[in-house]
């Protein structure tokens, strides 16, 4: 007689263990955002207020923690894209998602690094979320183009490049002007709008000469370390 194999459901964490796991993930999100992927599990334990052994019981290595944290980030990205697609104004829906993407890369160093190095940490979980995001972004762009708000010839893949262009100036200027990315996001959006669509106001002024020099100095100093 054949007996069906029964796979037991995953054991639920005790309340205290579940709280510790959430503290670890929250601490890792903050540290990855501020310092990128070079942090250690010891750093995470200190920020979370738990012993390093507690971190290692939940995550065998940093890669496992990266996957957990950025799986959450990518799911939030997918949710934001789907919400933007439902915006009643096709152009403002595109703007909403582009601003969300720029803000999250400009203010989250680790997420920016993961997006650029996804093959190094990619899992099936990431691939599934990516399959949610890509067609939604395509639909956002096609909807804006059909409404006459997006310039002909602009493709969804162009927004990947534009987001990283904005992220580049954000990384360069962050020590001296952490809000400057908003100016270049607006310039990028103005550049892809169809004629007749109202342009976005440049609310953030450009970098001053002394800010440029200071940012260059800090960038060079960081590279020499």
- Alpha helices, DSSP H, located in 5-117: 15-35, 41-48, 52-58, 62-85, 90-107, 109-116
Which pLDDT band holds residue 1 (cuts at 50, 70, 90)? very low
Residues 211 and 178: beta-carbon distance below 8 Å: no
Q: Terminal CA-to-CA distance of the chain, rounded, Å? A: 67
Residue 63: its pLDDT value, please?
Answer: 86
Residues 210 and 166: beta-carbon distance below 8 Å: no
Residues 108 and 33: beta-carbon distance below 8 Å: yes
CB atoms within 10 A of CB 126: 17
Q: Mind listing the pLDDT tens digit for each residue in 170-179? A: 989 988 999 9
Residue 124: its pLDDT value, please?
Answer: 66
Residues 28 and 41: beta-carbon distance below 8 Å: no
Which pLDDT band holds residue 123 (cuts at 50, 70, 90)? low
The CATH code that applies to domain 12-60 is 1.10.10.60
Query: What pTM does this model have?
Result: 0.78
Instruction: Show me where the domains of the chain are located.
Output: 12-60, 68-224
Region for residue 32 given its phi and psi (left: phi exceeds 0; alpha: psi -120 to 50; beta: otherwise) = alpha
Domains 12-60 and 68-224 belong to one CATH topology: no
The CATH code that applies to domain 68-224 is 1.10.357
Residue 4: its pLDDT value, please?
Answer: 47
Q: What is the CA radius of gyration of the chain?
A: 21
Q: Is the pLDDT of residue 188 over 90?
A: yes
Contact partners, residue 132, CB within 8 Å, separation at least 6? 78, 81, 82
Q: Mind listing the pLDDT tens digit for each residue in 46-84? A: 999 999 999 988 888 888 888 888 888 888 999 999 999
The structure tokens listed for 175 are: 């020590």
């Amino acid at each position: 007689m054949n007996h069906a194999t029964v796979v037991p459901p995953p054991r639920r964490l005790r309340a205290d263990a579940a709280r510790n796991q959430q503290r670890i993930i929250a601490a890792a999100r903050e540290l990855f955002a501020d310092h990128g992927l070079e942090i250690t599990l010891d750093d995470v334990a200190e920020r979370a207020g738990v012993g390093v052994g507690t971190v290692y019981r939940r995550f065998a290595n940093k890669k496992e923690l990266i996957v957990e944290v950025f799986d959450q980030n990518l799911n939030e990205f997918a949710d934001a894209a789907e919400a933007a697609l439902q915006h009643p104004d096709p152009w403002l829906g595109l703007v909403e998602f582009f601003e969300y993407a720029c803000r999250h890369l400009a203010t989250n160093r680790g997420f920016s690094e993961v997006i650029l190095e996804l093959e190094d940490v990619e899992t099936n979980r990431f691939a599934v979320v990516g399959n949610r995001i890509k067609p939604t972004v395509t639909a956002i762009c096609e909807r804006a183009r059909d409404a006459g708000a997006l310039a002909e010839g602009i493709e969804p893949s162009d927004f990947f490049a534009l987001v990283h262009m904005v992220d580049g100036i954000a990384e360069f200027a962050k020590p001296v002007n952490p809000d400057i990315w908003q100016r270049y996001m607006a310039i990028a959006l103005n550049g892809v709008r169809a004629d007749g669509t109202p342009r976005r106001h440049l609310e953030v002024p450009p970098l001053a000469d002394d800010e440029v020099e200071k940012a260059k100095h800090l960038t060079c100093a960081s590279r020499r370390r």
